[in-house]
Structure 1
Amino acid sequence: MDELIPTQPSAPDLPSLSDSRALAEVMGYMVREAAELEYHLRGLCSALIGSKYAAVVVAGQSVSWLIETSLAIAAVRDEMEEYYLDELKEILQRTKKAFATRNALVHGLWGSDSQGHFVNNSKLRTLELRELDFSADDVDELWSEMTRCQELIHTWLHDIIPHEVGNEVILRHEKRQQQLMEHDPIDQILPE
């Protein structure tokens, strides 16, 4: 009689809860590092533009826009030697690849099976789904690559166009100083 009672199929071996928590933790660190790398890209693009007003131009722009614009401006700058341009292209290609992986992980649909974690992403304007297997170690590696890209951008800027570093923050700083001068806090404390 027991043969007639359907049995519940056994659940696949899923990654442990501690593995899932470790993955979520390292994802948080990677996302934070991606934001820092994006900040460096804005600084790079601002420095290449060569004006404190570049902060307005680069504000809110996508990573792909920042990369493409940086390359376009670097290619036409008078002092840019071919070697330095090639070096920048290599750095920005690494950065672009890191962000493509980041986007797949952040915007994809996560799943787990007996093999580990995976993410599914749809491909623009198609029915195709792309699946990417990954682990907490893979995300940790991506986090490290993003850190390395920041270091490469920082070093390149300081070696090639150090006089332009900081353009993005100059205008913000000047406007903040102006606001502080217009609204002296001491006036708010002392009665007239």
Structure 2
Amino acid sequence: MSDELTLQHLTEDELPPLRSEEEMEQLQLRMSLLVGEVARASASLEDFLRTLMIALLDSKYGEVAAAGLGANELVDMCTALAKINHELTEPQRAACRSLLGTVKPLLTRRNSLVHGVWAPEHVSVEEPLPSKAIASISKRRSATVHVEISFEEAEKLAEELSKLGSEIFTWTCRSLTRQLRREQVTEPPPEATDQNGV
């Protein structure tokens, strides 16, 4: 029987003394900071993927084409563009596709962390503060799954997302320098707008 079930069957007088609210709030704060770090690192990675797509597309309309695409869509589009881009050498193409192949597994881990509902465990004063938490993950057409995520895993994921984003951006800057310098058109020509600016 799990600790949670055991605690449910105990009366209030039989419950072991639990750690203070302040300690549990500090634990919750640490989890929130880690989730924020992962979200920040993945947003940066997504931005670098968008830059890569614009460069691979090599169009003055690339920024508009890439706008609003999610990270998984950007990976798929960049993979397709890297496959057909005539300006890449075969080693460049292989390096680009290798980098892109590492993105989705990290995004899956990121989604579990960022979209999961985190629940700190009940901790008695005799036990050390936990180094992990339970994330309840709900997906379409499936039951909620409970996953244990350690603080160490969350820290490592933030580092991996940040490192991969930097690697993708560095590769883009080295391999597609000319394409990155292309001026981007993001506004319609004046004659295409009516008097209301639409």
TM norm structure 2: 0.73
Distance 1:112 1:19, change over 3 A: closer
Report what 1:7 is aligned to.
11
* 1:95 positional shift: 1.9
Query: Is contact 2:28–2:120 with CA below 8 Å preserved after alignment?
Result: no
Moved over 6 A (4+): 12-15
Alpha carbons 2:135, 2:146 under 8 Å: kept? yes
Query: How has the CA–CA distance of structure 1 residues 74 and 20 changed in structure 2, closer, same or farther, with 3 Å as cutoff?
Result: same
> Which residue of 130, 137, 150 maps to 2:165?
150
User: Contact 1:43–1:166 at 8 Å: present in 2 too?
Assistant: no
Question: Counterpart in 2 of 1:126?
Answer: 142
SS in 2 for 1:171: coil
Aligned length: 167
**Deviation for aligned residue 1:87:** 1.8
Name the counterpart of 1:140: 155
Q: Report if aligned partners of 2:27, 2:120 keep a CA contact under 8 Å in 1.
A: no
Partner of 2:184: 170
1:41 corresponds in structure 2 to: 49
- Provide the C-alpha distance between the structure 1 equivalents of 2:60 and 2:158, rounded to a whole number of angstroms: 30
Out of 143, 161, 166, the residue aligned to residue 176 of structure 2 is 161
Q: Is 1:94–2:102 an aligned residue pair?
A: yes
* Cα distance per residue 1:136-173 (max 9 Å; x no partner): 32222111111111111112112222111255x7335x
CA distance in 2, matches of 1:90, 1:12: 52
How many percent identity over aligned positions? 25
Q: Return the match for 1:51 from 47, 55, 59.
A: 59
Q: Tell me, what secondary structure is at the counterpart of 1:133?
A: strand
For residues 115 and 104 of structure 2, what CA distance do their matches in structure 1 show? 16
What is the CA distance between 1:48 and its match in structure 2? Answer: 0.4
Q: Where do 5+ consecutive residues of structure 1 fail to align?
A: 1-5, 179-192
The RMSD of aligned alpha carbons is 2.5
1:49 CA drift (Å): 0.3
Name 1:32's counterpart in structure 2: 40
**In the TM superposition, what is the alpha-carbon distance from 1:78 to its structure 2 partner?**
1.1
Shift of 1:79: 2.6
Matching residue of 2:76? 68
Cα distance, 1:50–1:133 mapped onto 2, change above 3 Å = same
Farther off after superposition, 79-88 or 147-156: 79-88
| TM-aligned CA deviation for residue 39 of structure 1 | 0.8
Q: Distance in 2 between matches of 1:143 and 1:135?
A: 13
CA distance, structure 1, for counterparts of residue 162 and residue 118 of structure 2: 24
